[in-house]
Amino acid sequence: MIISGERRIGYDEIQARIRRAMSGFRNLGLAEGAPVAMMLRNDFALFEVVAASAALGSPVVPINWHLKADEVRYILADSGAKILVCHADLLPQIRAGISEDVKLLVATTPPELAATFEVHPELVEVPPGLTDWDHWRDSYPESTEPPRRAAAMIYTSGTTGMPKGVRRMPMQPEQAAASERVGAIAYGIKPREDQVVLINGPMYHSAPHSYGMLAFRSFCTIILQPRFDAEELLALIERYRVTHIHMVPTMFVRLLRLPQAVRQHYDLASLRFVVHGAAPCPPEVKRAMIEWWGPVVHEYFGSTETGIPVWHSAEEALQKPGTVGRAIEGGIVKIFREDGSLCGAGEVGEIYMRQTAVPDFDYHGKAQARADAGRDGLVSVGDVGYLDADGYLFLCDRKRDMVISGGVNIYPAEIENVLIAMPGVHDCAVFGIPDAEYGERLCACIEPETGAQLSASAVQAWLRDRLANFKVPKQIQLMDALPREPTGKIFKRKLRDPYWADAGSRGAQPG
């Protein structure tokens, strides 16, 4: 069963809907391998579109629902998708980007999503003259085609150029079994067990997408939280006896900032497996969550391109503070120097990895970009880190974010992990800006908590007590709100670029 607000649907009913959608897609001329685009919030329709297209051997292209017309036009053109399924309230922002040769199917925005995102009542219903997803789907008989399986084509962030579609090769039978085993390790989800899975991250992201679809294929009870709210999450866990959740570290920080009385009010004893990824988690935050929720908080590390090669348990997190884990079944991780040689234990270099349980990939239509990302059959997405003597991986930073000040390599992520734990800091970003003497110096932009009284000197004092002096930013900027990418990540380029616009850089503007 899938539950969203006060609505619920059983697996028998949604599987029938999926088979009808399969027939409908075929009637539109969808050929095996041709993509189907969707711009949908987490809803029943999303599972229907993903499962129907995958069963026909066609990858779904999830589109970030923050994007606007020109951005959507690019993804539709680049992917070659000729079918787009979209929620009604999202249509106005992208309508101008949909060409006439794209078949548009519009899903009504359900009440819980309309309430959460404060949708104007006029934008909830399918506009006159457009094709209603529900009516269209139900006008077709259930397909009798044997189901295939195609992975989603996720478009990666375009912060360093135009987004690239990660398109997987067809999955072989032995890979399918291995992939399910890796999912059981990394996400804790196993087929047809008594599991109640809560999803609160948008499924246009790679990790929430794979997590949600694994839960769906495993016939879990799925609870959809339209948008993360810390106390509401606790209430949902208690109400539905949630056993499994996928989260990101920012959610942990906001949960830990709830008043103690609120944290103690809810019964969380049902939790069995909480997994997080997407960004490094400060060790003190991880420790506090384990102390509160128990040894159920686990972590993976991977990317859209690599799958999940690295994972570790709560127990390992306490033994190896700051690690993102070590290679699991099918996972390969290597650290390379710039000259292509392998780094030794504890030596920082560029991280290359791969999960062999998932098929290899291409960047759709961008063969050179795929070649540039590879080395010895592994893939780099620009992360820098090291393996310790026991094979545990530690991140230092994104390669493009590393700051070189006076010849010393400084990794902003380390500083951000300390800064986010400072009382009164809601979020932060640390990066390099031009310095006439040292080449670069550190700058920290901080978004304070509402009502917090912060000062540059207090921030620097907090950091100086916890980090070497050369890691303490010389410049502190307090901001009402930090700029964010559509994914919700802080858009460092918008913070950093003005400093470099007139100053040049150490060869080329970073990022």
Kindly provide the b/e burial profile for residues 284-316, where b requires at least 16 CB atoms within 10 angstroms of the residue's own CB. Answer: ebbbbbbeebeebbbbbbbbbbbbbbbbbebeb
Q: What percent of the chain has pLDDT over 90?
A: 64
pLDDT beyond 70 at 399: no
Q: Identify the residue whose tokens are 């991280």.
A: 351
Residue 421 or 510, more confident: 421
- Could you give the domains of the chain? 9-152 (3.40.50.980), 176-399 (3.40.50.12780), 402-500 (3.30.300.30)
Q: What's the rounded Cα separation, in Å, for the pair 91 and 324?
A: 39
DSSP-assigned states of every residue in 473-486: -SEEEE-SS--B-T
- Among 222, 338, 343, 228, CA closest to 276: 228
Q: Helix count (H) and strand count (E) of the chain?
A: 17, 28
Q: For 320-338, what is the HEC assignment? A: CCCCCEEECCCEEEEEECC
- Name the β-bridge partners of 166: 154, 363
The average confidence (pLDDT) of the chain is: 90
What tens digit of pLDDT does each residue of 115-138 get? 999 999 999 999 999 999 999 999
Q: What's the rounded Cα separation, in Å, for the pair 274 and 272?
A: 7
- Among 60, 58, 61, CA closest to 32: 58
Q: What's the rounded Cα separation, in Å, for the pair 421 and 443?
A: 18
Among 101-110, 391-400, 423-432, top mean pLDDT goes to 101-110
What tens digit of pLDDT does each residue of 418-469 get? 899 899 999 999 998 887 667 788 999 999 998 999 999 999 999 988 887 8
Q: What's the rounded Cα separation, in Å, for the pair 419 and 426?
A: 10
What pLDDT sits at residue 502? 55
Instruction: Count Cα atoms within 13 angstroms, Cβ side, for 184.
Output: 12
- Among 91, 82, 153, CA closest to 119: 91
CA angle 103, 211, 296 (to 5 degrees): 160
Q: Identify the residue whose tokens are 């053109």.
A: 77
Four-CA torsion 495, 498, 504, 507, nearest 10 degrees: 20
- Name the β-bridge partners of 429: 445
Residue 507 pLDDT grade (very low, low, confident, very high; cuts 50, 70, 90): very low
What tens digit of pLDDT does each residue of 70-98 get? 889 989 999 999 999 999 999 999 999 99
pLDDT beyond 70 at 368: yes
On whether the CB atoms of residues 162 and 364 are closer than 8 A, the answer is no
**What value does the mean pLDDT take over residues 23-37?**
95
pLDDT beyond 90 at 383: no
- Identity at 10, one-letter amino acid code: G
CA angle 475, 479, 483 (to 5 degrees): 105
- pTM (predicted TM-score): 0.82
pLDDT beyond 50 at 159: no
DSSP state of 117: T
Residue 317 pLDDT grade (very low, low, confident, very high; cuts 50, 70, 90): very high
What pLDDT sits at residue 347? 94
DSSP state of 349: E
Helix runs in 57-116, H state only: 69-79, 91-94, 111-116
Q: What's the rounded Cα separation, in Å, for the pair 430 and 443?
A: 6
DSSP state of 268: -
What pLDDT sits at residue 508? 34
H or E element: which one contains 425?
A: strand 425-435
pLDDT beyond 90 at 64: no
Q: What's the rounded Cα separation, in Å, for the pair 432 and 5?
A: 44
What tens digit of pLDDT does each residue of 353-366 get? 999 888 888 888 88
Token representation of residue 432? 């390099």
What pLDDT sits at residue 500? 75
pLDDT beyond 60 at 350: yes
- Among 17, 14, 167, 26, CA closest to 103: 26
- Name the β-bridge partners of 288: none
**What value does the mean pLDDT take over residues 166-187?**
84
Residue 160 pLDDT grade (very low, low, confident, very high; cuts 50, 70, 90): very low
What pLDDT sits at residue 504? 43
Residues 6+ away with beta carbon under 8 Å from 115: 5
- Name the β-bridge partners of 223: 3, 198
What pLDDT sits at residue 505? 36
pLDDT beyond 80 at 488: no
